[in-house]
Amino acid sequence: MAGSIKIRAYEFDGEVTVKSIISHPMETGPRKIKKTGKKIPSHFIREVIVSRNRKIVMEAFWGKSISRNPFLSFQIPGRKGDTITISWLDNRGNSDSATAKVR
């Protein structure tokens, strides 16, 4: 799922605001395909890791209740030029990561 993460990061007064959207189906599992009646298997992000200049600043463990294409927004201390990296791992072993410079 390469290219599934979009990141924007900007600094104001020593605080970096990070906004990100992750393209992912986030399927819960109990839904069925109407025409066939077959269950749609679960497929969701389990772990999200955020790092600033290669140092982990946040780790989140998600479950089935997170919506499709989740939006993530948070603030951390930092400055212009810092590197923000967001990576995720889902329950099927898929993963992706993306990096952005703080503006």
Coil vs helix vs strand at 5: strand
Residue 33 forms part of a structural domain: no
For 39-89, write each residue's pLDDT tens digit. Answer: 999 999 999 999 999 999 999 999 999 999 999 999 999 999 999 999 999
Q: Which domain holds residue 12?
A: 5-28+39-101
C-alpha span between 68 and 15 (Å, rounded): 28
Residue type for position 53? N
Rg (CA), the chain: 16
Mean pLDDT of the chain: 95
Question: Worst-scoring range by mean pLDDT, 26-35, 38-47, 89-98?
Answer: 26-35
Residue 63 forms part of a structural domain: yes
User: 8 is written with which tokens?
Assistant: 């924007």
Q: With cut-offs at 50, 70 and 90, classify the pLDDT of residue 1.
A: low
CATH of the domain at 55: 2.60.40.10
Greater pLDDT, 51 or 30:
51
C-alpha span between 37 and 7 (Å, rounded): 38
Give the chain's domain count. Answer: 1
pTM for this predicted structure: 0.92
Strand partners, 7: 20
Residue type for position 81? G
